[in-house]
Chains A and B, each alone.
Chain A
Amino acid sequence: MTDLSLRPAAVTIDDLAGDRNATRPDTLFSNGAKVAGYLVLVILAAIAVSTTTKAWPAFRSEGVGFFLSDNWVPSQGHFGARAIIYGTLVVSAIALVVAVPLSIGIALFITELAPRRIRSSITTVMDVLASVPSVVFGLWGFLILRPDLKDFYNGVADAVSGIPVLRSVFGESLSGQSFMTAGLIVGLMIVPIITSIVREVFQTVPINEKHGALALGSTRWEMIRGVVFPHSTGGVVGAVMLGLGRAMGETIAVALVIGASPQITANLFGQGEAMPSVIARNLNEASGNYRAALIGLGVGLFALTILINISARLLVKRANATKGAR
């Protein structure tokens, strides 16, 4: 900082450039903006530190068993979250099986098939789908879908009751609340996010190569398989992982339709429990070690989604970097 009293009285070039009037506000402004920029990093770090601290009692008393043991009985102080983690993984897997083919299909429809003038209306449909709150999907799933799905599940279970492996995967459904119901709804909810990223990736495929393939007599599908897919593998994998991250963290819809009973079973029509949903339903009433254990699940979820998101973003970034080569 220049000391104003030592400045010569004569007008210098600095004064003409507005040094005294402009530079101070300028540094203030840029530093303010910089602080706001770093805020994101500060918040992420604060989340990690503060949640881990509050979860520490549970981690300390359960040790590795917190994630590996299958004994979740809060009333007796047993906190082994394996069945809950299993539920999260199963629901996310079902969601991906549902969402990935749909999303890639829609993204291809938008980029390759749809006439230009209806493209923006499809994007609007996707935006609206993305903006429906999770709790509304959950309400619909719980009150409207669940009774019908229960009959459907039991119909399927009867139909496959004689077939060895299918019999255990598609078993009886007690209430219609199940891994499958949660997976279907979450799958629907992550379609817009996967679609929007896959679409961006597809749009980076060089148009010359697409035209080349078509000029050589490829059908549209052969062009997609031969040009679009090979160019987009990395980006599509990244998009799918982002969808996975979203599916794992999906809370309220899952809390309403999964059934709230932690168990490890092959039966996709059976009731289960997932990490975010057990937190959402119980954290308010919990205290002591139970509270610490629920926060601990949150720490696990945070770590898992951060890891998935970091690798997914790196993949998408690398895939989109080819944009410059076009």
Chain B
Amino acid sequence: MATVTVDAPTPRTADASSAQHHPLQSSLSRGRRTRNRLANAWMILSLAIAAVPLLAVLVVLVVKGAGLIASTDWWTESIPSNVAANAFGTQEAQDAFGNVGTVAKTEEVVYGMQPAIVGTLLTTGLAALLSIPLGIAAAVYLNEYGGKNRSASTIRFFTDVMTGVPSVVMGIFVYTVWVLNFEQSGRSGLAGGLALACLMLPVVVRSAEEMLRLVPNSLREASAALGTPKWKTTTRVVLPAAMPGITSGAMLAIARAAGETAPILFTVGVVSATNFSLFGQNTTLSAQIFSNATQPGGESIAWGAALTLIVVVMAFTLAARFVSSKFAVRIDQ
């Protein structure tokens, strides 16, 4: 961008007149220059203030959680139920010098998180299976059929509005239509997946629609000119062209859903043994973080689960960025 750099330092030359200020700079009063610098400082500081806590969170997660998730038990064992015993229990012990006193009880605790890892993959996977095809179909309607007509505009608007509906409301929704109706068997991975799907749907619709809009009309026209029916043009020409962008949008939606806790709390239930089925109660990483955060002795489990979750979420987020930058359709408008 061609910006006039009014406060740039004067380039030094051998000329005797080099001691003079740049003509533009000399015309600036001290006050104007100060205000401009303050504004620059504000912009840079803002970024720093937002980035510092982010870094702090990531560092703390790695420091506190890396030990746990590095062990194989973490990925293969059930969630321990006896962590609280260590927090409260004490026992008599003798140290190397013969002094006797009470120390914290050290029961053998096997730190495992497999049930929550499986549960997270199950619920998020189901949500993706439900919301991505439906979301793409809705985007096809909005961009290929609806265009600017009234119903498409209305749907587009309310899709935007729906992205702003709090995730806890989606949880309550599935709780009222599903869990309350099935009482005993209501809480399940299936119910959690439904709640997450409601949350993902509008995100997928809007990002897929943006991507479909980027596909040049000349492609559609060329296909139509060959006598291809519209559904075939859409599925064989338009969607493949937009697929990298749609994939990256979908992955971002998956990343967001995997980290959600509020919709999970009322819909999934609790288990401490791995449940590979969509039916029956289940648990997720986010739910484990929430319940262990405030539980005595649960801190290390919470940190481990948080690091695991962040790894999953970041993997999807960065993969999405990679897909969109690597396979982006280079379209010359």
Residues of A participating in the B interface, judged by any CB pair closer than 8 Å: 17-18, 21-23, 25-26, 28-30, 32-41, 43-44, 46-47, 50-51, 53-54, 101-106, 108-109, 112-113, 116, 122, 124-129, 131-140, 142-144, 188, 191, 207, 211, 214-215, 217, 219-222, 224, 242, 245-246, 248-252, 255-256, 276, 279-280, 283-284, 295, 298, 301-302, 305-306, 308-310, 312-313
Measured between C-beta atoms, what is the minimum distance from A196 to chain B in Å?
12
Contact at A43–B261, with CB atoms within 8 Å?
no
Pick from B43, B152, B177: contact of A50, CB under 8 Å: B177
User: Within B265-312, which residues are at the interface with A (CB < 8 Å)?
Assistant: 265-266, 286, 289-290, 293-294, 299, 302-303, 306, 309-310
CA gap between A310 and B161 in the complex, in Å: 6
Contact partners of B246 in chain A: CB under 8 A: none
Instruction: Verify B261–A251 contact, CB threshold 8 A.
Output: yes
Interchain nearest-CB distance for B123 vs A (Å): 14
A36 touching B7 by the CB < 8 A rule?
A: no
A136 contacts B57, C-beta separation under 8 Å: yes
- Specify which chain A residues have a CB less than 8 angstroms from the CB of B66 in the assembled complex: none
Contacts of A28 in B (CB 8 A): 231
Which residues of B lie under 8 Å from residue A215 when comparing CB positions? 4
Contact B176 A295 (CB under 8 A): yes
Within the complex, the shortest CB–CB distance from B113 to chain A, in Å, comes to: 15
Complex CA gap A142/B295 in Å reads 12
Closest CB of chain A to B8's CB: distance in Å? 11
Known A25-B229, A249-B165: A37·B142 in contact at CB below 8 Å? yes
A/B interface sample: 20 pairs, CB < 8 A: A26-B230, A33-B137, A37-B137, A101-B42, A103-B46, A109-B43, A109-B46, A116-B1, A124-B321, A128-B317, A133-B258, A134-B261, A136-B57, A136-B289, A139-B303, A140-B60, A143-B299, A242-B164, A309-B160, A312-B164
Closest chain A residue to B134, Cβ basis: A36
Tell which of B24-32, B82-90, B96-104, B214-222 binds the partner. Answer: B24-32
Name the residue on A nearest B142 (C-beta): A37
**CB of B228, distance to nearest CB on chain A (Å):** 8
Contact B43 A142 (CB under 8 A): no
Q: Does B223 contact A (CB under 8 A)?
A: no
In the complex, which residues of chain A have a beta carbon less than 8 angstroms from the beta carbon of B170?
47
Interface segment, B10-18, B47-55, B67-75?
Answer: B47-55
Q: Which of B234-254 contact A (CB under 8 A)?
A: 234-235, 252
Question: Would you call B81 an interface residue if the criterion is a C-beta within 8 Å of the partner chain's C-beta atoms?
Answer: no
Q: Chain B contacts of A214 at CB under 8 A?
A: 3-4, 6
Chain B's closest residue to A144 (CB) is B60
Nearest-CB residue, chain B, relative to A308: B164
CA distance A313 to B206 in the complex (A): 14
How long is the Cα–Cα vector from A103 to B51 in the complex, in angstroms?
Answer: 12
Residue of A nearest to B234 (CB): A29
Do A139 and B46 touch across chains, with their CB atoms under 8 A apart?
no
* Complex Cα gap A58–B172 (Å): 15
Contact B155 A44 (CB under 8 A): no
The complex places the Cα of A276 from the Cα of B265 at a distance, in Å, of: 12
